[in-house]
Amino acid sequence: MPVVALLSVAVLFTGGCSGTQDTSLSGDPSESATAASWSPSPSPTPSLTPPYPTGASGCHDNKGWTAQESRDWVGLVVNTPKENYEDDQVQVVSLPGYNGPLCRKITVQVEFWKLVYGVADGVGGERLSDGTKPVYYFDIRRVKRVELRTDASDERKIDLPKSLYASDRSACEGALLSITVGKPLTSKELPEEIEVGGDESRWDSAPVDFRSKRVADYELFQPSAPRVCSPDGKPTADPADVPTPGSQPTDLYPTPDTSFDIDDVLRSPTP
């Protein structure tokens, strides 16, 4: 065995120096060339397992899914306007293997709600105007509902209600979009409070506490200036004339400056 190993090294070394290959010791010239240019093979890259792989029938079997599993899937396939970079629509995205398609369709409710905000009166009917955050309340009503029976075998697009998302809508009006599995939301499942006014951005990511576990996704389009709204949800001033809550100092009685210069004390005459 040592002799064979030494001979192999000598053949490779000679071929490298002469620039020609000696095929007398090798039945196939390609073997010497392959051996001389050998390099380690790259490590295989593991392929990602799709979350909803399709079976032999071309669909993902969702028989026996729990409500949580259905809700998770719906939250994955339905994209809200904030998640769409090209246009303002609700979209059902079709990506085979990534979201199915499913073997059994799931019922999905896409509901648009109009929010009208007002500022609660303070003590004696005076509105809160000390720079702190006002107390808001709101009225909510459904504007549009679209029911889907979907398995993500194809893409669907749902347009937003134009009046609800119009740029010239009242400063007291906002919108709430809900994506729900199964039947439409009832009044008992709607949120009791929706916080607004902190961030003046168009789409707000503040949490909305629905009283239902069937909501797969939602999106809040908050009113542009609820701080100027009367208790009945009507603008009472130009938003430019009313500062955003929290932007003004809240300390109405600042502590007087009691600092002093020690040199002034030393220079003062002794009584």
* Ramachandran quadrant class, 263 (left: phi over 0; alpha: psi -120 to 50; beta: rest): alpha
Asked if pLDDT for residue 40 goes beyond 50, the answer is yes
> What pLDDT digit, counting tens, does each position of 88-136 carry?
899 999 988 899 899 999 999 999 999 999 987 654 444 555 556 678 8
> What pLDDT digit, counting tens, does each position of 149-206 carry?
999 999 999 999 999 999 898 999 999 999 999 999 999 999 998 888 655 555 666 7
The token pair at 143 is 């504007």
Please tell me the distance from the alpha carbon of residue 61 to that of residue 96, in angstroms, as a whole number.
Answer: 13
Candidate ranges 43-52, 58-67, 237-246; pick with highest mean pLDDT = 58-67
The predicted model scores a pTM of 0.69
* Ramachandran quadrant class, 224 (left: phi over 0; alpha: psi -120 to 50; beta: rest): alpha
Asked if pLDDT for residue 142 goes beyond 90, the answer is yes
Q: How much is the average pLDDT of 57-83?
A: 94
- Residue identified by tokens 């679209």 is 146
Looking at residue 195, its pLDDT comes to: 82
